[in-house]
Structure formats: structure tokens, C-alpha cells
Amino acid sequence: MTDNYDLIIIGGGPAGLSASIYGGRARLKTLVINKGTIGGMPNTTREIVNYPGYVNISGPDLMKDFKKHAESFGVECLKDEVVNVDFSQNEKIIRTKKNKEITAKAVIIACGSEPRLLNIPGEKRLRGNGVAYCATCDAEFFEGEDVVVVGSGDQAIEEGMFITKFARKVSVVVLHDEGILDCNKVSAERALNNEKIEFIWNSTIEEIMGEDNVERVRIKNLKTGSSSELNCQGVFLFVGMIPATNFLKNSGVKMDQKGYIPVNDLMETNLEGVYSAGDNRVKYLRQVVSAAGDGATAAVAAERYIEEMNAFNTNVLQSNKKVLLTFFNALNNESLEFCTQLEETNTELSESYKIVKVDMATKKSLAQQYGIEKAPSVVVLDKGQEITRLDCYGNKVNLKAQLQVQ
Amino acid sequence: MSLAQLKDATFEQIIYEDEAPCLVIFSRKTCHVCKEIVPLLEELQPKYEGKFGFYYVDVEEDKVLLQKFSLKGVPQILFFNEGVYNGKLSGPVEEEQVEEKIEEVLNA
Ligand SMILES: Cc1cc2nc3c(=O)[nH]c(=O)nc-3n(C[C@H](O)[C@H](O)[C@H](O)COP(=O)(O)OP(=O)(O)OC[C@H]3O[C@@H](n4cnc5c(N)ncnc54)[C@H](O)[C@@H]3O)c2cc1C
């Protein structure tokens, strides 16, 4: 059995939940599919101080509010992972890890991003034995020990400072020249003045070593090319994020080299009825507030698209009368005059046709679907099936003759 | 169903005296990865009812156990059979990995 929805949202972080609030409120049958804990990345954040309306709130608490809000509009949530999609038809097909197949008229991709791995020797093997990715979870295990932190973004520096509460010394390995950190200024200043933090500039790590537990790392200086070893018991890696869009590889959704999805102002991807919102799209600022904004935009755009699709179904494909699907260009006088002539002719034929006008400029995809390249063009449909096309370049007599034949 | 929690004393009993095949997840409330893995085990548990035990240790409440296995992070799933430690899985794991490991322990 397959389930059908109006709108499916892949990912239940800030972007996905915001989209679902708009979808639910617009009375679309809306499903959020999210692997793991609903709420997404903020679940890993101790405090959020820049989401409007909340001076200071923990990430999980903020996301609980998002979820409650979505549920109040009747949104359904499914805990599962999307592993495969088929966006080639009007009905989009989503397949999940638990072998569910679900369809929707429109899909919003809001799967966010995941931590990047360094893929260096020792990283996988010593995970949980000194290699860690979460200070809140694991910092305490390094009481009185030496820890290496790799990275200099907000997360690396803030987590690094948290680790100093437990560790004897924290060495932060930074790619850049002395004094340059990627994080915000407030944190940078605090970290640079923290006595327990030592910085290793112009460097990265090449290998994590140790028999059963981490014993040391090999550090490479990028300026001199030389390597050195540093003894430590823990290594925390915060080397950025990558979009979680791998499952879309063969979907036809356009992505950039890194896997981010480019969209326009409406969050539309290159595929009709498929939108992308939040951290997984190409964008300038990746934060909760901007993810929420994206979600709202995508949901409203999806709602309009679904409405148009439904209208097209009832007005055109299921019409009792034959339909003259008329493509025109509002900026072109000739095609506007043609529309008037067509209306007049139809009146003379006692309205035997239903005329549906399509503006080429705004309904590009429909034009594409019928292979229309210039305006005016008319496709004659009977019960949704194309029966012929009109020659639009003769006079009215010619037009009437064509319509009488049908 | 939630996992049965082990304390220092019950740990001794179940692992070393009963010697039943089982897994124990070492976890803590403030760890987001644990929050993903614990439900995964809870879902898997009924499938192995009577064949393989599923237990839970809160590392904040039981530091002794943590030190005993010199763990350096959570979550970690430790596997036991006949009172012997049979290896572990660390960090975010998939359901299939846990099942594979259970089979390995049972068939060893
Ligand atoms: C350490 C850290 C601190 C931060 N601090 C702040 C802060 O203070 N303020 C702020 O505004 N922002 C902060 N951010 C950024 C903020 O968390 C993100 O910008 C925001 O979460 C993006 O939301 P999203 O909905 O796009 O993606 P996410 O929050 O990543 O949510 C995506 C969801 O989709 C799910 N998913 C992924 N793939 C699939 C799939 N195939 N099938 C089903 N589900 C899937 C994921 O499990 C996840 O739940 C921080 C980020 C980090 C890493």
C-alpha cells in the first residue's frame, strides 16, 4: 500500500518544521519524514541566543516548541530515513529505509547537513576511544588529560572552551596564520585569553595514533611541510559540515560540487514541485532563523504549485467540453489580439469550447510539457488528451473553419 | 519498551553470574547521539526476546562501571557472552551493525 500526501518534507529540523507549520495551516496533507530525533541540529546545541523572541534557550527546548507548533496544525511526522526518490512524474515517489513508499504532489528537501569526517588513519578505529565529535557528551571523560581540538569555527572554539573545564590542556589545531580564527569575535577573544588553550597555527592533523586508546596525533605544518607528534588522550574533530544530500545523487535535482542545492527566490530547485530549504541549499547564512524563513517560503511556493496543479486537473484534464489550451504572451500585442479573436469565434460557435489561457512567462513548465515555443499557440484537448493544434496565423475565418472541423 | 537499567551491583549479577549473552549501552542523558541510538535498541529488543539481553547504564550515575572498562566517550555498546567481554560498537551506529554484532556473539 502506498500513502499519498499533498506535501512531503524530508527532514525535521528548523527548516522542515517551519515548512510543515505553513503546510499544515494551509490545510495541505503534510508529512515530515525525519531520521533520528525530531528538531535536527539544534538538538546538539547547548544554548541558542540569536533566535528572535528567545533571549536564551537550549536547542532541544526550542525545537520542542517548533514541533508542538507543527502538531497543532495537524502535521504528521514519520521517523524514518529517505533513501531513494523518484521525481520524474507529477506524483513524486519517496522510498524509506523501512521500505515504505509514499507519494506527494510536492516535496521540500530540508535534510540539513552532517559533520564532515577528516578520513585520516585512526579516526574511525579510535572513535569512542579518544576520538570524539561532541564535547557535551564526552568532555568529562578527559578529566585532567591532554586534548587536541581540530578546527576554528564557532563550534570548534566554543566546544574547545567547554572542554577546558575538564581537561588539563587543550591544543587547538588551526589552518590559518597566527591569530586568525573562523569563529565569532566574542568567542575568539575569550579563547585567545584562555590559559588552558594553546593554539597550533598553520596546521592540520594527518594521523591519530594509539593501540587501544588515543595516545598521540601527528600534526602537519602547512607552511613548512614538516610533521611533528603531540601526545594526547583525546581528539575532538570539528571540521565543518557537508550537506546530507547524498541520497539525491541520481534524482535529477541539481547540486553544486559540494552537494548543496541551488534554488531561486521561491526555493524552487531545477525540478518542478521540488523545493529545497535550510542548510542543504546554496546560501549565505546557515542559522535557525534563516532556515525557518526558507521553510516558510518553500511551503507557500509549494502550496501555490499544488493549487495550480489541482486547478489544471479540474479545469482542463477533467473538463466535459473540449478545451482550447491557449498559450499567450502578455507583453506581445499580436498574441493578445489573437486571444480576443479566439474568444469571439468561440462565442459565434455558441461556446462549444472552453478556453483556458496560459501566460507563457509565468507557466514555463506547462509550456515545456506541451513543447510550446512561441505565442500564440493553441492545443485542443478532449478529456485531457491532445487531439490537435491550431494554426494561429491565419484570419478569423480560417480560425473558425479549424474549430468547426473538430 | 525501554531498556532495563543496570547499576554496579546488578551489572555483576547479570554479566558475570548469569553469564547470559547480552549487550549494554553506556549512555548519558545530555548526549544527542545517545538519544538516537537508545531508541534504536529499544526497537530491536523484542526481536531478540529470550535470546539476547538488552541493558542500559547511565554513566553519570555509575562512574565505577565507566572506569572499569576505561571508556572514553558515549554512546558505546558493549557485548558480553558467558561472562566474557566480546567487543563494542562506538558512536552513531546503524541497526544492521548492531544485528550483525549480535549474530556474531551468538554464533561465536
Ligand atoms: C554546534 C552548532 C551550533 C550552532 N549554533 C547555532 C545558534 O546558536 N544559532 C543558530 O541560529 N544556529 C546555530 N547553528 C546552525 C543551525 O543549527 C542550523 O543552521 C539549522 O539547524 C539548520 O536547520 P535545517 O532544518 O536546515 O537542518 P538540520 O537542523 O540539520 O535538520 C535536518 C534534519 O533532517 C534529517 N535528515 C537528514 N537526512 C535525512 C534523510 N535522508 N531522511 C530523513 N531525514 C533526514 C536530519 O536527521 C535532521 O533531523 C549551529 C550549528 C552547530 C553545528
Do residues A145 and A214 share a domain? Answer: yes
Number of domains observed in the structure of chain A? 3
Last residue of one domain, picked from the residues A237, A266, A282: A237
Do residues A100 and A140 share a domain? Answer: no
Do residues A340 and A388 share a domain? Answer: yes
Question: Domain of A288: which CATH number?
Answer: 3.50.50.60
By Cβ distance, the residue of A36, A128, A234 closest to B36 is A36
Do residues A157 and A198 share a domain? Answer: yes
Question: Domain of A352: which CATH number?
Answer: 3.40.30.10
Q: Is the dihedral of CA A71, A73, A76, A81 positive or negative?
A: negative
Q: Looking at ligand 1, which residue's alpha carbon is closest to its atom 13?
A: A287
Is residue A154, in this structure, part of any structural domain at all? yes
Contact B73 A137 (CB under 8 A): yes
Do residues A306 and A222 share a domain? Answer: no
pLDDT at site A1: 47
By Cβ distance, the residue of A36, A44, A234 closest to B72 is A234
Cis previous bond, A262, omega within 30? no
Taking only the tens place, the pLDDT of each residue in A272-281 is 999 999 999 9
Is residue A121, in this structure, part of any structural domain at all? no
Least confident window among A5-9, A115-119, B21-25:
A115-119
**Amino acid letter, A249:** K
Choose, out of B62, B72, B85, B93, the residue to mutate when testing the contact with A (most A CBs < 10 Å).
B72
- 3-state SS, residue A400: helix
By Cβ distance, the residue of B30, B66, B70 closest to A137 is B30
Do residues A233 and A249 share a domain? Answer: no
Domain that holds residue A180: 131-237
Last residue of one domain, picked from the residues A221, A237, A253: A237
Q: Which residue of B has its CA nearest to A40?
A: B32
Q: Which residues of B touch A233 (CB under 8 A)?
A: 72
pTM as predicted? 0.84
Do residues A166 and A142 share a domain? Answer: yes
* ipTM of predicted assembly, 2 dp: 0.81
DSSP conformation class of A243: E
Is residue A124, in this structure, part of any structural domain at all? no
A330: confidence class by pLDDT, cuts 50, 70, 90: confident
Look at residue B100 and tell me whether its pLDDT is greater than 50.
Answer: yes
Q: Which residues of A touch B72 (CB under 8 A)?
A: 128-130, 132, 138, 141-142, 213-214, 233-234
Do residues A95 and A77 share a domain? Answer: yes
Give the per-residue SS3 of B23-64: EEEEECCCCHHHHHHHHHHHHHHHHHCCCCEEEEEECCCCHH
Do residues A303 and A352 share a domain? Answer: no
Last residue of one domain, picked from the residues A181, A209, A237: A237
